[in-house]
Amino acid sequence: MTKEYNKRYKVLIVEDEESPRDYLKTIVESLGFQLVGLAKSYDEAIACAQQDFPDIALCDIKLYDYKDGVDVAHTLKSMGEVSVIFLTAFSDLQTRDKALAVNPASYLLKDQINDVILDIHLQIALKNLTEKSNSESKVSNGKLFAWDRGVYHIIETKDILYVQANNTSCLIYSRKNIYDVNQKFGEIVAHLQDNGIQQVGKSYAINLDNIIAFDKGFTYVEIDLEGINEKVKTNIQRVINVSKSYRSDLKSKMLI
């Protein structure tokens, strides 16, 4: 993945030795990820997570502390949705089995680490995270519960103006806020199609109730911006083009 993609995700490093900790920091930052903490103990790791919760935790299993990296992983997983990559200098079965018991996204021997290998394992962790997210969004009682990296965004479907694809995620523009949701555009639109959200192009789906104008050929639609939060208004598209293959369906939905 690109640095532009990676920069959306937060990484916490838990390693009690300075040299490998700095090495991990250098690689993580060079790949474009947000580094939200460098911890050398259980207490430091949890304090970092409480301040800025990570998407991925790189945890050394053996910490010279009263609790180890597996304890860190247990606590982080109880706090929210996080993918854990365990790091260890030991390859014995006892260490491996203890680590696997908390269902990590990946497990990496320290002597294998370089920028290419770590990037591969970070992408595995992200895939693990996004697959969990993609399975849990739902619509209930007129609200979209969009599950994104351990947090539910609760969005009134009537307030949604349009949804826009954004690489492997999507942007949901509502009257109150703009939500960057870590789910595929098609999956979010599928959740919303019974709530008046109509796809009008490869990358756009609009709320039919918020259309205030359109041209005769349905080549574009205009969105009602009345009562919209000023932050949203400065970043929104008032006019959205309708792709040719979607015009007939849109026209039938508008009962024209």
Same domain, 110 and 148: no
Q: Is the pLDDT of residue 167 over 80?
A: no
For 252, counting Cβ atoms within 10 Å of its Cβ (0-12 exposed, 13-18 middle, 19+ buried), the class is exposed
- Global pTM reads 0.56
Same domain, 90 and 19: yes
Same domain, 146 and 206: yes
Same domain, 165 and 195: yes
Same domain, 198 and 123: no
Q: Which of 96, 115, 133 is the last residue of a domain?
A: 133
Supply the CATH number for residue 8's domain.
3.40.50.2300
204 or 91, which is more confident = 204
| Domain, as residue range, for 15 | 3-133
Q: Which of 133, 151, 173 is the last residue of a domain?
A: 133
Supply the CATH number for residue 248's domain.
2.40.50.1020
Looking at the DSSP bridge assignments, the partners of residue 60 are 87
50 or 97, which is more confident = 50
Q: How far is CA 104 from CA 31, 43, 99, 122, in A?
A: 21, 20, 7, 12
Q: How many domains does the chain have?
A: 2
Q: What amino acid is encoded at 188 in this protein?
A: I
Same domain, 114 and 233: no
Q: Is the pLDDT of residue 96 over 80?
A: no
Q: What amino acid is encoded at 126 in this protein?
A: L
pLDDT at 19: 93
Same domain, 144 and 231: yes
| CA of residue 41 relative to chain centroid, distance | 27
pLDDT at 4: 81
Q: What is the pLDDT of residues 181-234, one digit of tens each?
A: 877 888 889 889 888 999 999 999 999 999 999 998 889 999 998 888 888 888
Token pair 């939905």 is found at 253
**CA 114/CA 96 separation, integer angstroms:** 21
Q: Which of 133, 155, 187 is the last residue of a domain?
A: 133
